[in-house]
Amino acid sequence: MEGRDAGPAVEETEVDAALRADKAGPRSQWANGQCVLAMPSRSVLNPRFDLSQCRASLENEGFQVPVCDLEAPLGTALDAPSVRRYLVLNSSLFYFIMTPVMYMVLWCAVFSTLHLYITVSDYWVLCLSVSLVSIFLTTAVIFVLQHKKKELNVNVDVRLIQVNERTVKHKLLVAVADWVQNCRGHMQLYFVYWDMSHCLTALTDTLEERSFVGNETQCKLERKMSHLVLVTEVGAAELEDEPASDERRPLLRREGARDDAPSSRDDARVTANRSLVPGESLLPQDKAFRLLMTYSSAYVKLLVTERLSGPSHYRLRPGRNHCAAAPLCLCQYITNKILR
């Protein structure tokens, strides 16, 4: 988050101002959830995106996003070699290649284990049993991995929070999605149109309603988001100078910032753990904005790969869904996932 001064209230005002300015402009043609741009990576094994081309393409679609709100934060979030390695090793193509390898390894392991303890006259019975067990185990592992891919990913989605905090002012949300089609891996950087004002109002109302029932909501947030910890590297002196509360600190630091302004106290770097749980003392609107930003990239990833699923009663209440392209909008996704 950008801190209290540039926090939710200011973001909201900017969003409203942009909405008023653009009512008759080219952006009025867009609806929430509509994909504005899908930029493929240069290579599946080296996932880099042409960010200047992204900005030019967005300009053609009527979105004037300055470099400081697009290329700079995206470069910080995705260009680190460790992040690119993670993208490759966590891609659907990698799982696709690993599946038959894992099946063969499991088959050999189960066969050699059973062969030691069971004496079978008919080898085909043993082979069939081993194949069935291996298929079951492989399917279970793939199912767990696929389920994990639907969750908020700390190494990619969380890194994109800072990007979305900036692009949401231009009514855009960003996510990285990948899939396998015709035995070929595809990885794309998606820019989806999203006017956050309706979701912010709805989620703020939900949190205000829940605030009357004690701190049950805060307990739920802490229980369901406690594993979301951001590890950052900061200077020891810098850490001491920061206020005790986590709530007003930016979630992600700009890694280049410290190089531009070297500290006069050349202190040792230490790692600090930052929780993504919104603090209890935050106003409902601030909490709502922080939740919307935290889950924005994970939501867009599921939206563009058509993996969003919601209970049927959401479909029967279209007035509460602020996204025409999916069964759930962002605020409903968060309510469903975190507040239930």
Sites of contact with Zn ion (CB under 5 A)? 199, 322, 329, 331
Sheet of strand 172-181: strand arrangement: 35-40, 184-193, 172-181
What's the closest the beta carbon of residue 101 comes to Zn ion, in angstroms? 42
User: Torsions phi, psi of 27, nearest 5?
Assistant: -75, -20
SS3 152: coil
C-beta closer to Zn ion: residue 23 or 317? 317
- Measured between alpha carbons, how far is 327 from 306 in angstroms, rounded to an integer? 10
C-beta closer to Zn ion: residue 251 or 329? 329
In sequence order, what are the beta bridge partners of 272? 232
What's the closest the beta carbon of residue 172 comes to Zn ion, in angstroms? 16
Q: Are the C-beta atoms of 245 and 238 separated by less than 8 Å?
A: no
What's the closest the beta carbon of residue 333 comes to Zn ion, in angstroms? 8
C-beta closer to Zn ion: residue 106 or 331? 331
What's the closest the beta carbon of residue 201 comes to Zn ion, in angstroms? 9
Nearest to 328 by CA among 287, 295, 280: 295
What's the closest the beta carbon of residue 152 comes to Zn ion, in angstroms? 17
C-beta closer to Zn ion: residue 93 or 302? 302
Q: Is 21 exposed, middle or buried (0-12, 13-18, 19+ CB in 10 A)?
A: exposed
Tell me the pairing of strands 35-40 and 269-275. unpaired
Tokens of 23: 């009512």
C-beta closer to Zn ion: residue 30 or 103? 30
What's the closest the beta carbon of residue 7 comes to Zn ion, in angstroms? 20
C-beta closer to Zn ion: residue 62 or 310? 310
What's the closest the beta carbon of residue 327 comes to Zn ion, in angstroms? 12
What Cα–Cα distance (Å) separates residue 41 from each residue in 50, 192, 290? 8, 17, 29
Nearest to 174 by CA among 194, 154, 155, 200: 194
Nearest to 78 by CA among 149, 151, 160: 160
CA geometry: angle at 215 spanning 212 and 221, to 5°? 115
**DSSP run (H or E) holding 140:** helix 123-149
C-beta closer to Zn ion: residue 186 or 320? 320
